[in-house]
Amino acid sequence: MRIRLRRDWDSCRDSATQLAEIVICRSFVTNNTFTVQTSKHPTFDLSDLLDRWNALKLEVDSKLEECLRRRTADCPERLREAMRYSLLAPGKRLRPILCLLSAEALECSPSIAIHNAAALEMIHCYSLIHDDLPAMDDDDLRRGRPTCHIQFDEATAILAGDGLQALAFETILADTNNSTIAARSCLVLAKAAGAEGMVGGQVDDLQAEKTGGDATFLHAIHARKTGALIRASVVLGGIAANADSQQLEKLANYGDCVGIAFQIVDDLLDVEGSSKNTGKRTGKDQQRGKLTFPGIYGVQSSRERAEQFVEQAISNVDAFGPAARPLKQLARYITARSH
């Protein structure tokens, strides 16, 4: 695959570093062009995606800022600081961007889904704060910074996560004009974040550290702990854009595939990546006895499986035509990312 970014690499390096230092087999920078080559796929150009991603990320961050400003003014200062510290830290904002691009795939303005997009990032951020706690993955580095419980303290980190979870639902309910869309969005988000979704996946992930598990268990863990929220991200974009049930099903299928592929690559980055690129510790999954794709299938086969899921994701949004091009590009980015 050749991926060509038709823009000045240096000028976009900061955002692109956050977004994708795309290295699969070999990469090289030539005059104003960033090229990635792999053996398998045809030429693929991600330049538009980088531009869109950066622009949408600004909109998401400004919405997150506004939500914190408006809805945490009257809360204890330490809690406000901890929520802000984690929520505005330099993450990729993948879930909100999936949500906005799904609305766009249905030929709506992405901004129609901005409240849902912000809520998704809040839930995701809360899950990261809790994931890093000593009782869970016990990590000290996140998004290139000390984790919330290291920067503040454990109780504050737990409560900052709780605060962000509630803020997500408050944001949708308070900011969405259409109460039916708000209610449907909250229902989907609650289901994805809850015991049958992300939280359930996290429980199984921790359980598997002790008991191990087979490929079926591994797939179920990844589908829940990461896949559920990614699926909800595209569905929430569709709901905001008033999608019909067939459109929602296609988006959900896309989200399922992207979700699994995303966590496979997260597992691979723990083996092959660096803290410098990922902003978090690497080499920890094996140390903790996590059930992972490279652990079960090996590195090469895991990468091939991730690429298969990406192809499947892309075919699920074919029917949306050119409006779904950014969603397709984003699916490609999932396996191309290095952080």
Interface positions with Mg ion (CB under 5 A): 131, 137, 266
Residue least distant from ligand IPE (Cβ): 91
Tell me the C-alpha distance between 145 and 173, whole Å.
32
| Cβ proximity to ligand IPE, 46 vs 106, nearer residue | 46
Asked if 153 and 199 touch (Cβ cutoff 8 Å), the reply is no
Q: Which residue is it, tokens 């015991």?
A: 195
For β-strands 145-146 and 33-37, DSSP reports them as unpaired
To ligand IPE, the closest distance from the beta carbon of 31 in angstroms equals 30
To ligand IPE, the closest distance from the beta carbon of 279 in angstroms equals 7
119 lies in the binding site for ligand IPE (CB under 6 A): no
94 lies in the binding site for ligand IPE (CB under 6 A): yes
The two three-digit tokens of residue 312, written as one number: 């499947």
SS3 225: helix
Residue from 52, 57, 63, 92 in contact with ligand IPE (CB under 6 A):
92
Q: Where are the alpha helices (DSSP H) in the chain?
A: 13-19, 47-71, 77-87, 94-105, 114-131, 148-151, 154-175, 179-193, 198-211, 215-222, 228-240, 245-272, 275-278, 284-288, 293-297, 299-316, 325-336
Q: How far is CA 237 from CA 80, 91, 97, in A?
A: 28, 20, 9
| Identity at 261, one-letter amino acid code | A
| Cβ proximity to ligand IPE, 115 vs 339, nearer residue | 339
Chosen from ligand IPE, Mg ion, none, partner binding at 103 (C-beta under 5 to 8 Å by type): none
To Mg ion, the closest distance from the beta carbon of 52 in angstroms equals 26
Chosen from ligand IPE, Mg ion, none, partner binding at 255 (C-beta under 5 to 8 Å by type): none
To ligand IPE, the closest distance from the beta carbon of 94 in angstroms equals 5
Neighbour tally for 200: CB within 10 Å: 16
To Mg ion, the closest distance from the beta carbon of 131 in angstroms equals 4
Chosen from ligand IPE, Mg ion, none, partner binding at 94 (C-beta under 5 to 8 Å by type): ligand IPE
Q: Which of residues 211-240 bind ligand IPE (CB under 6 A)?
A: 225-226
> What's the chain's Rg over C-alpha atoms?
19
Residue from 116, 263, 302, 329 in contact with ligand IPE (CB under 6 A):
263
Tell me the C-alpha distance between 44 and 112, whole Å.
29
| Cβ proximity to ligand IPE, 43 vs 275, nearer residue | 275
To Mg ion, the closest distance from the beta carbon of 203 in angstroms equals 11
Q: How far is CA 251 from CA 77, 232, 243, 266, 283, in A?
A: 40, 9, 10, 22, 33
302 lies in the binding site for ligand IPE (CB under 6 A): no
Residue from 52, 57, 184, 280 in contact with ligand IPE (CB under 6 A):
280
CA 183 to chain centre: 23
To ligand IPE, the closest distance from the beta carbon of 24 in angstroms equals 17
143 lies in the binding site for ligand IPE (CB under 6 A): yes
SS3 243: coil
Q: Which residues bind ligand IPE (CB under 6 A)?
A: 91-92, 94, 124, 127-128, 131, 137, 143, 198, 202, 225-226, 263, 266, 280
